[in-house]
């Protein structure tokens, strides 16, 4: 049964800035609005499953993981959103499945587990019929914009389903493993990365993402958190603002000859 409280906390998250970034051609993925809306639905559902089943070894679809990556890039917003939705920082582990000889098997199991949890929780097929490309999401995208949990808007095509290689590692017992991704719980044991997998029966056409989202056992941010496409916030800078991002400086403090400016920076 879906918890209305948890449901509402995640539904209240403003993910519009993340979609804008994903639709940006230069610094994002160049997604259409329809696809961004569709993946927003699946990402919210993914977050709900991470909260509802913190000890499960699961792996999201690649597009869902991509949405997650871009959410994390806005480090300050991601931290606030995690605090609002979870009460702790949902970490992302990028090495799931890169250790151990049984990675492929664990990968498939994690992907299948995600599918099982998804279908039992939301009462819908994990794989939905999808148009040929993201420019044809149309009505589904419109429905998604009106309802943040609208399932049919996902438009996931069975033949092309891919599982991300990352997630939030779950810790359910000593030696717990995650398939390329999972969400770690605060129980005893060590997390081992496996790849996280493609839904069973679809291995030939599936792949997993290369990173995962480990939740810290104490619910605190990782000490060595890093950002992509954007900079680390400068503490107490008087009215400091950045336009999309800052100009890279060489290690010696000089501008590199071919330096390019990033699309983000340190606010």
For residues 61 and 142, which has the higher predicted lDDT (pLDDT)?
61
Tens digit of pLDDT for each residue in 146-183?
455 544 334 444 444 567 667 676 543 333 333 344 44
**Whether the model pTM is above 0.85:** no
Please, are residues 44 and 10 in contact by the beta-carbon 8 Å criterion?
A: yes
Asked whether residue 219 is assigned to any structural domain, the reply reads no
Residues 258 and 138 in one domain: no
Asked whether residue 215 is assigned to any structural domain, the reply reads no
Residues 251 and 182 in one domain: no
**Number of domains into which the chain is organized:** 2
Predicted pLDDT of residue 214: 53
Tens digit of pLDDT for each residue in 179-207?
344 444 333 333 332 333 333 333 333 44
The domain in which residue 177 lies consists of 4-205
Please, are residues 59 and 208 in contact by the beta-carbon 8 Å criterion?
A: yes
Asked whether residue 187 is assigned to any structural domain, the reply reads yes
CA atoms within 13 Å, Cβ hemisphere of 6 = 15
> What is the mean pLDDT of the segment spanning 47-62?
91
Residues 75 and 187 in one domain: yes
Asked whether residue 210 is assigned to any structural domain, the reply reads no
> What is the mean pLDDT of the segment spanning 62-84?
96
- In this structure, the number of other CB atoms found within 10 A of the CB of residue 124 comes to 13
């Amino acid at each position: 049964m879906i918890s209305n409280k948890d449901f509402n906390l995640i539904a209240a998250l403003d993910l519009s800035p993340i979609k804008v970034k994903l639709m940006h051609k230069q610094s994002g993925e160049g997604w259409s609005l329809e696809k961004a809306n569709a993946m927003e639905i699946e990402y919210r559902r993914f977050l709900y499953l991470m909260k509802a089943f913190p000890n499960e070894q699961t792996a999201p679809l690649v597009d869902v993981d991509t949405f997650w990556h871009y959410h994390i890039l806005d480090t300050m917003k991601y931290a606030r959103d995690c605090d609002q939705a979870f009460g702790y920082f949902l970490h992302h582990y990028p090495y799931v499945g890169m250790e151990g000889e049984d990675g492929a098997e664990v990968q498939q199991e994690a992907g299948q587990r995600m599918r099982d949890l998804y279908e039992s929780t939301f009462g819908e097929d994990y794989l939905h019929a999808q148009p040929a490309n993201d420019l044809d999401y149309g009505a589904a995208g419109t429905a998604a914009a009106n309802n943040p949990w609208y399932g049919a808007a996902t438009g996931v095509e069975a033949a092309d389903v891919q599982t991300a290689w990352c997630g939030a590692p779950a810790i359910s017992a000593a030696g717990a493993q995650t398939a390329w991704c999972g969400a770690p719980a605060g129980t005893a044991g060590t997390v081992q990365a496996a790849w996280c997998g493609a839904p069973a029966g679809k291995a030939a056409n599936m792949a997993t993402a290369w990173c995962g989202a480990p939740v810290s056992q104490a619910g605190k941010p990782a000490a060595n958190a890093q950002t992509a496409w954007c900079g680390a916030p400068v503490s107490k800078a008087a009215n400091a603002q950045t336009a999309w991002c800052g100009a890279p400086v060489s290690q010696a403090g000089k501008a590199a000859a071919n330096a390019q400016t990033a699309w983000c920076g340190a606010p």
